[in-house]
Amino acid sequence: MVASEIPTMDTSKVTDTIGLTQLANTEEGLYRLGKNSSVHNALATSTKVSKDKKTYTFTLRKNAKWSNGDPVTAKDFVYSWQRTVNPKTASEYAYLFSGIKNADKISSGKVNYKQLGVKADGKYKLTVTLDRPVPYFKLLMGFALFFPQNQKAVEKYGSKYGTASNKLVYNGPYKSVGWTGTNLKWKLVKNDKYWNKKNIKMDTINYQVVKDPATALNLYNSKKLDVTTITGSQVAQYKNNKAYKLRKEASTFYLQLNEKRSYFQNKKVRQAISMAIDRDQLTGKVLADGSQKPLGYVSTGLAENPKTGQDFAKEAQVKSAVTQNLTQAKKLLKEGLKEEGISKLEFTLMADDTASGKTTNEFLQSQIEKLGSNVKVNVQNIPFKTRLANSTKGNFDAVITGWGADFSDPISFLQLFVTGNSNNNGKWSNKEYDKLIKASNTTDAKNEEKRWDDLVKAEKILMQEQGIVPLYQQAASQLWNTKLKGEVYNSAGINFDYSGLYLEK
DSSP β-bridge partners for residue 205: 188
What is the pLDDT confidence band of residue 64, given thresholds at 50, 70 and 90? Answer: very high
CA distance 105 to 441: 15
CA geometry: angle 235, 238, 242, nearest 5 deg:
130
Q: What is the CATH number of the domain that holds 485?
A: 3.90.76.10
Whether 339 and 425 map to the same domain: the answer is yes
The side-by-side arrangement of strands in the sheet containing 469-480 is 227-230, 469-480, 244-257, 398-404, 345-352, 375-382
Q: What's the domain count of the chain?
A: 2
Whether 200 and 174 map to the same domain: the answer is yes
CA distance 129 to 132: 9
Whether 199 and 343 map to the same domain: the answer is no
Choice among 113-117, 304-308, 463-467 with the minimum mean pLDDT: 304-308
Mean of pLDDT values over 7-30: 96
What is the pLDDT confidence band of residue 446, given thresholds at 50, 70 and 90? Answer: confident
**130 lies in some domain:** yes
272-283 pLDDT tens trace? 999 999 999 999
Answer whether 416's CB lies under 8 Å from 403's CB: yes
H helix intervals, 170-294: 213-221, 233-238, 267-275, 279-281
CA distance 468 to 503: 43
**267 lies in some domain:** yes
Contacts of 373 (CB under 8 A, 6+ apart): none
What is the pLDDT confidence band of residue 479, given thresholds at 50, 70 and 90? Answer: very high
Whether 410 and 352 map to the same domain: the answer is yes
| Pairing label, strands 484-485, 502-503 | antiparallel
Contacts of 334 (CB under 8 A, 6+ apart): none
Contacts of 309 (CB under 8 A, 6+ apart): none
Residue 355's Cβ-count burial label (10 Å; 0-12, 13-18, 19+) is buried
What is the pLDDT confidence band of residue 97, given thresholds at 50, 70 and 90? Answer: very high
**CA max distance for the chain:** 69
The residue type found at 387 is: R
pLDDT at 356: 87
Whether 492 and 458 map to the same domain: the answer is no
**76 lies in some domain:** yes
**12 lies in some domain:** no
CA distance 151 to 415: 30
Q: pTM of the entire structure?
A: 0.83
Answer whether 312's CB lies under 8 Å from 303's CB: yes
Residue 58's Cβ-count burial label (10 Å; 0-12, 13-18, 19+) is buried
Whether 306 and 452 map to the same domain: the answer is yes
In the predicted model, is pLDDT for residue 355 greater than 90? no
In the predicted model, is pLDDT for residue 422 greater than 90? no
Contacts of 284 (CB under 8 A, 6+ apart): none
**143 lies in some domain:** yes
Q: Residue 433 belongs to what H/E stretch?
A: helix 431-441
Residue 108's Cβ-count burial label (10 Å; 0-12, 13-18, 19+) is exposed
- Please give the backbone phi and psi of residue 477, each rounded to the nearest 5 degrees, phi first: -95, 125
**312 lies in some domain:** yes
What is the pLDDT confidence band of residue 169, given thresholds at 50, 70 and 90? Answer: very high
Nearest to 102 by CA among 89, 111, 93: 111
Quote the domain boundaries for residue 325.
Answer: 248-475
Measured CA distances, 475 to 23, 122, 253, 285, 470 (Å): 22, 45, 11, 14, 15
Mean of pLDDT values over 456-477: 97
pLDDT at 458: 98
Whether 258 and 375 map to the same domain: the answer is yes
What's CA 251's distance to the chain center, in Å? 7
196-222 pLDDT tens trace? 999 999 999 999 999 999 999 999 999
Whether 196 and 278 map to the same domain: the answer is no
**243 lies in some domain:** no
**385 lies in some domain:** yes
pLDDT at 37: 87
What's CA 370's distance to the chain center, in Å? 32
Whether 330 and 280 map to the same domain: the answer is yes
pLDDT at 306: 87
pLDDT at 496: 95
CA distance 254 to 468: 7
Q: What is the CATH number of the domain that holds 422?
A: 3.10.105.10
In the predicted model, is pLDDT for residue 175 greater than 90? yes
Whether 320 and 430 map to the same domain: the answer is yes
pLDDT at 461: 98
Whether 197 and 274 map to the same domain: the answer is no
Whether 71 and 117 map to the same domain: the answer is yes
pLDDT at 232: 83
